[in-house]
């Protein structure tokens, strides 16, 4: 039973990782990355590492996608505000 | 650096990593076996020091020096984020009040969910830190929950409110004090798992709030001088 669970969790992780790579729009990719973070946390729980799963949920599901979204927003904002200026960022 | 040189450097690094990884992976004990050399050494030590959560015992007692390194890495990266994303001379910062991302622009359901989740999430964070030595969790996990929880205020639709409840100087002070306290605890008071848990929770929470605050400023407030 536990081996079936582990294989299922691994397959799900591989599926979500592929989905992240195949999503081309960065903003959508951040959301898919968040989903991948949850699936990875499930894998860690299945492998009996709840402490790591908690870190993974916090960092991989919330903080990293949030930082990516904020960075994308900042870049878009700078580009729409100053269309003529060469933006070096 | 031309593209070819860059590829060459990448290839050398990649091959080196692959070789080292393969060497390490082939010497790993079998998956799911009955022999756990590391567990056999850490478990008695954790029980002898009355820390039921073995992971916390390893993090804050048996391998506290490693954790010290990790904490300082986290502090250094938070510091670097604050430095790199500061408002430079060619930019200026709008006051948070100009951004009325208020009630009108956010769904009611989202606002209510945000406000309801805020106290629950904060409590969960405190619980994870406080019970880190007993059950899964600990300073880092709880700190991340605490550090990201207050951003629910922004999710609920109000950036000025978020800016009010997280005064940056206070979090900078908290970060510095907690990091200093952790160094003292790790070097001179080994084995204080509960105290180290709390201090790490504070340090991690402050670090995430500071780093995210800088990203929020860049995304919402900072603009070039026109």
Q: What are the tokens at B138?
A: 């600990």
Confidence of residue B96 (pLDDT cuts 50, 70, 90): low
Q: How far apart are CA B98 and CA B83, in angstroms?
A: 24
Cβ distance B219 to A73 less than 8 Å, yes or no, reads yes
C-alpha A2: how far from chain center: 26
Q: How far apart are CA B36 and CA B43, in angstroms?
A: 10
Q: How far apart are CA B144 and CA A58, in angstroms?
A: 6
**Residues in chain B, total:** 226
Q: What are the tokens at A78?
A: 């700078």
Sign of CA dihedral B59, B64, B66, B71: positive
Contacts of B51 (CB under 8 A, 6+ apart): B57, B61, B133, B193
Of B145, B147, B216, which has the smallest distance from its Cβ to A70's Cβ?
B216
Of B138, B151, B223, which has the smallest distance from its Cβ to A51's Cβ?
B138
Size of interface A-B (CB pairs under 8 A): 61
Global pTM value: 0.82
Which of A44, A50, A51 should one mutate to test binding to chain B, selecting the residue with the greatest count of B CBs within 10 A? Answer: A51
Tell whether the model's pLDDT for residue B163 goes beyond 50: yes
Q: What pLDDT score was predicted for residue B119?
A: 93
Give, as one character, the DSSP assignment of residue B190: T
pLDDT above 70 covers a percentage of chain B that reads: 92
Give contacts of B 120-159 with A, CB under 8 A.
128, 136-138, 140-141, 144-145, 147-148, 151
Confidence of residue A86 (pLDDT cuts 50, 70, 90): very low
Tell whether the model's pLDDT for residue B204 goes beyond 60: yes
**Which residue of chain A has the CA closest to B215?**
A70
Mean local confidence (pLDDT), A50-64: 92
Q: Torsions phi, psi of B92, nearest 5?
A: -140, 155
Is residue A53 within 8 Å of residue A45, measured between CB atoms?
A: yes
Q: How far apart are CA A52 and CA A41, in angstroms?
A: 8
Residue environment code for A55-79, b if the CB has 16+ CB neighbours within 10 A, otherwise e: bbbbbbbbbebbbbbbebbbeebbe
Q: Which residues of chain B are within 8 Å of residue A67 when distances are taken between CB atoms?
A: 211-212, 215
Cβ distance B224 to A67 less than 8 Å, yes or no, reads no
Q: Which residues of chain B are within 8 Å of residue A58 when distances are taken between CB atoms?
A: 141, 144-145, 148
Q: How far apart are CA B175 and CA B70, in angstroms?
A: 14
Q: What pLDDT score was predicted for residue A22?
A: 96
- pLDDT tens digits along B42-83: 888 888 888 888 888 888 888 888 989 999 999 999 999 989
Angle formed at CA B70 by CA B27 and CA B190, multiple of 5 degrees: 95
- pLDDT tens digits along B5-36: 999 999 999 999 999 999 999 888 777 778 88
Distance of residue B219 Cα from the nearest chain A Cα, in angstroms: 4
Cβ distance A62 to B141 less than 8 Å, yes or no, reads no
Give, as one character, the DSSP assignment of residue A87: P
Sign of CA dihedral B206, B79, A55, B196: negative
């Amino acid at each position: 039973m536990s081996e079936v669970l582990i294989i299922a969790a691994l397959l799900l992780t591989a599926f979500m990782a592929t989905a992240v790579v195949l999503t081309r729009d960065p903003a959508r990719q951040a959301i898919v990355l968040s989903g991948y973070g949850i699936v990875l946390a499930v894998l860690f729980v299945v492998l009996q590492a709840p402490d790591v799963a908690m870190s993974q949920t916090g960092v991989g599901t919330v903080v990293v996608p949030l930082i990516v979204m904020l960075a994308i927003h900042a870049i878009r904002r700078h580009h729409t505000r100053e269309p003529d200026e060469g933006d070096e960022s | 650096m031309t593209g070819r040189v860059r590829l060459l450097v990448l290839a050398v690094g990649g091959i080196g990593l692959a070789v080292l990884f393969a060497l390490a992976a082939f010497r790993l004990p079998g998956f799911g076996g009955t022999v756990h050399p590391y567990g056999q050494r850490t478990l008695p030590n954790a029980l002898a020091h009355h820390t039921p959560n073995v992971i916390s015992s390893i993090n804050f007692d048996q391998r506290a020096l490693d954790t010290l390194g990790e904490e300082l890495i986290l502090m250094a990266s938070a510091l670097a984020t604050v430095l790199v994303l500061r408002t430079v001379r060619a930019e200026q910062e709008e006051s948070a009040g100009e951004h009325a991302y208020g009630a009108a622009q956010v769904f009611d359901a989202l606002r209510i969910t945000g406000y309801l989740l805020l106290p629950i999430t904060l409590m969960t964070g405190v619980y994870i830190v406080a019970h880190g030595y007993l059950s899964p969790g600990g300073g880092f996990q709880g700190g991340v929950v605490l550090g990201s929880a207050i951003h629910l205020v922004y999710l609920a639709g109000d950036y000025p409110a978020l800016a009010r409840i997280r005064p940056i100087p206070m979090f900078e002070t908290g970060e510095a004090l907690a990091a200093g306290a952790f160094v003292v605890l790790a070097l001179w008071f080994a084995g204080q798992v509960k105290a180290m848990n709390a201090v790490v929770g504070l340090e991690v929470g402050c670090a995430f709030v500071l780093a995210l605050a800088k990203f929020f400023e860049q995304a919402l407030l900072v603009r070039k001088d026109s």
